[in-house]
Structure 1
Amino acid sequence: MPRRTATMLASTLMLIALLCAGVFIPVPYSEMSPGPTVNTLGDHDGEPVLQISGRKTYAAGGHLNMTTVRVTSADYRMNLVEAVYGWLAHDNKVVPHDTLYPDGKTEEQSTQENAEEFSQSQESAKVAALRELKVPVKSWVIVSTVVKDSPSEGKLHAGDVIKAVDGTTVKEPTDVAKLVTKHQPGQDVVFTVVPAKEQAAAEKENKTATKTQDITVTTVASDDTGEKRAIVGISAGTDHTFPFTIDIKLADVGGPSAGLMFSLGIYDKLTPGDLTGGKFVAGTGTIDDDGKVGPIGGIEMKTVGARSKGAQYFLTPADNCAAAAKDTPDGLTLVKVKTIDDALGALKDIRSGKTSDLPKCTTS
């Protein structure tokens, strides 16, 4: 066999071997890509995304789109060829697998966590919008979750209203941890609670639950790193009673990042006129009960997805601005927001055509 032919054959076989290795050898990476974007003012799967009853609503035009990111599943094992392709693809992003699924989190655990965050973001969106409209919302501290095999299991239950800890009135979820950690591991803590069933029954009859119980829980030492502290194995959260019904109908979406856009959609539906002036506005950001906007992940994917659907303006959490501004899609204006007030002010400028006044994102 001629030397040149042998060399070409050897090179071809080596290339085939490398390609096979690239296809069959898994790498510890996952991929993010632009996901669907949904207009909170419109319909999804045949029904309105925002459904409000018991209060006068107004027709709202334009777009206030929430945005999403697609990610590979927790059990998907990317190969080297896919990783390289993802790195080279402009609209995709390859990240370490542990970035999306830390501590060996399973697909089921991730889905459950995302569902819980999505539910909480809806509640906060409602509260923020109604508070902005000066509509009273009743709030109280509850047991959000109870850790399996913890001292609280079987004693405290999700939905129990925490009125006091050791006789000290609880006003915020953070008060609970502060009061528990005043103890040493092994000491007793007394929770004064309204049981979840009592609370649910009172809400159904539009009454205030008054029947309380004192529940004693023995603390244990925390098992995380750092100084050991007393814990009881619960997380505290906030629940609300709204003066009318607001339902958010959007399946197959998780995480907290749609909070801002849900809040703006609710505000728009409850006020005359169009917040957007008919413009296509998209955005992202968590929101808390006080209307503060927080950062999210996958900002680059969300701006790409929004622009591909026609968005002209993108409401961007201030903490995500620098990253988003590094690669802004052509024709999309990134607007920096820190609160719902910022977002409403930006929308006022957009619908009035005063776009030079908008607080735009920069790379610094």
Structure 2
Amino acid sequence: MPRRTATMLASTLMLIALLCAGVFINVPYSEMSPGPTVNTLGDHDGEPVLQIDGRKTYPTSGHLNMTTVRVTSADYRMNLVEAVYGWLTRDNAVVPHDTVYPDGQTEEESTQENAEEFSQSQESAKVAALEALDIPVESWVIVSTVLKDSPAEGKLHAGDVIKAVDGTTVKEPEDVAELVTKHKPGEDVDFTIVPAEEQAAAEKEQREATKTEEVTIRTAKSDDAGEERAIVGISAGTDHTFPFTIDIKLADVGGPSAGLMFALGIYDKLTPGSLTGGSFVAGTGTIDDDGEVGPIGGVELKTVAARDKGAQYFMTPADNCEAAADDTPDGLTLVKVKTLDDALGALEDIRSGDTADLPTCTAK
């Protein structure tokens, strides 16, 4: 056999061997790719994404699309060949498995966490939109979760309204931790609460909840590293009563990143005229009750999804701007937003056609 032929054969066999080995070598990575986008002004699976009852709504046009990212499942084992291919593919991202599923998180745990974040983002989107429209929303501090085997287990329950701690009125979730940590571990702390059942009954009957209870809990020492502090084993959150019904119908979506686009969709449906002026606008970003827009993960993949769907403009959280601008899809304008008011102002420019001064994202 000629030497050149033998060399080529050996190289080919070596390449085949390496490819075969790569197929069987698992690597600790997951893949992220552009996911579906959904128009918050339109229908999904045959029903409106945003359903508002008890308040006048107005016709809308154009698109206000929320965007998503697909990720491989927690138990998916990527091989070396798939990882290399993913690294070379522009529209996908290969990331360490722990980035997507931290601390050995299972698929079920991830799904539950994403569902909770999605639910909270919907509530904050409603509050932010109504606040922007000067529509009052009643809010109160509640027990969000009670840790298993904590001092509060069996004494406080998710949904209980926290009126006061040690006689001091609670106005924000942060007030609860501040008041509890004034104690030393082992000391008693007194909660004034409205039980969850009483609050639910009051809301159903459209009356003020008046039945309160006093609950005393002995604090424990936090397991956190650092300075010793007292805890009772709960997390506090906020619940709301809205003056009319706003339902967001969107299954199989999780996480908090659709908050901004939901808020814009709600605002559009509750105001005359078209917020977009008929343009195709997509975007992403968390939102809190005050309308502050926060960063999200996978922004580069979401811009690709928006571009593929036909978006002209992409509402981009300010903290994600640099990453998004590093590889902006052709024909897509990245609009920089820090608040819901920023997004509303940008949409005013877009529908008027005066986009010269739009706050856009720029690469570093």
Q: Do the structures match in fold with TM over 0.5?
A: yes
Match of 1:286 in 2: 286
Uncovered stretches (5+) of structure 1, i.e. residues with no partner: none
1:38 alignment partner, SS class: strand
Match of 1:302 in 2: 302
* 2:248 counterpart letter in structure 1: I
* 2:104 counterpart letter in structure 1: G
Deviation at 1:106, TM superposition (A): 1.2
Match of 1:355 in 2: 355
Deviations 1:115-134 (A, max 9, x none): 00000000000000001110
Q: TM-score of the superposition, structure 2-length normalised?
A: 0.98
2:276 alignment partner, SS class: coil
* 1:225 counterpart letter in structure 2: A
Identity %: 85
Q: CA RMSD in A?
A: 1.1
Match of 2:56 in 1: 56
Match of 1:221 in 2: 221
Match of 1:204 in 2: 204
Q: How far apart are the structure 2 equivalents of 1:346 and 1:2?
A: 70
* 2:118 counterpart letter in structure 1: F
Match of 1:181 in 2: 181
Deviation at 1:8, TM superposition (A): 4.0
Q: How far apart are the structure 2 equivalents of 1:52 and 1:12?
A: 64
1:271 alignment partner, SS class: coil
Deviations 1:133-173 (A, max 9, x none): 10010000000011112111111100000001111110000
Q: How far apart are the structure 2 equivalents of 1:223 and 1:172?
A: 24
2:129 alignment partner, SS class: helix
Q: How far apart are the structure 2 equivalents of 1:115 and 1:224?
A: 27
Deviation at 1:7, TM superposition (A): 3.9
Match of 2:117 in 1: 117
1:356 alignment partner, SS class: coil
Q: How far apart are the structure 2 equivalents of 1:296 and 1:115?
A: 16
Q: How far apart are the structure 1 equivalents of 2:33 and 2:22?
A: 21
Q: How far apart are the structure 1 equivalents of 2:228 and 2:87?
A: 42
Q: How far apart are the structure 1 equivalents of 2:176 and 2:264?
A: 31
Match of 1:30 in 2: 30
Q: How far apart are the structure 1 equivalents of 2:356 and 2:5?
A: 66
Within-5 A mapping of 1:260-271:
260-271=260-271
Uncovered stretches (5+) of structure 2, i.e. residues with no partner: none
Match of 1:191 in 2: 191
Match of 1:143 in 2: 143
Q: How far apart are the structure 2 equivalents of 1:169 and 1:119?
A: 27
Q: How far apart are the structure 1 equivalents of 2:146 and 2:170?
A: 18
The number of equivalent residue pairs is 364
Deviation at 1:14, TM superposition (A): 2.3
Deviation at 1:187, TM superposition (A): 1.5
2:252 counterpart of 1:247: no
Match of 1:333 in 2: 333
Deviation at 1:2, TM superposition (A): 5.8
Q: How far apart are the structure 1 equivalents of 2:21 and 2:182?
A: 57
Match of 2:165 in 1: 165
Q: How far apart are the structure 2 equivalents of 1:5 and 1:267?
A: 71
Q: How far apart are the structure 1 equivalents of 2:244 and 2:63?
A: 24
Q: How far apart are the structure 1 equivalents of 2:136 and 2:284?
A: 26
Match of 2:273 in 1: 273
Greater mean deviation of Cα atoms: 315-324 or 148-157: 148-157
1:355 alignment partner, SS class: coil
Q: How far apart are the structure 2 equivalents of 1:257 and 1:72?
A: 18
Within-5 A mapping of 1:65-144:
65-144=65-144
2:239 counterpart of 1:231: no
Q: How far apart are the structure 1 equivalents of 2:76 and 2:228?
A: 37
Q: How far apart are the structure 1 equivalents of 2:27 and 2:180?
A: 43
* 1:179 counterpart letter in structure 2: L
Q: How far apart are the structure 2 equivalents of 1:165 and 1:73?
A: 42
1:359 alignment partner, SS class: coil
Greater mean deviation of Cα atoms: 72-81 or 257-266: 72-81
Q: How far apart are the structure 1 equivalents of 2:225 and 2:33?
A: 34
2:252 alignment partner, SS class: coil
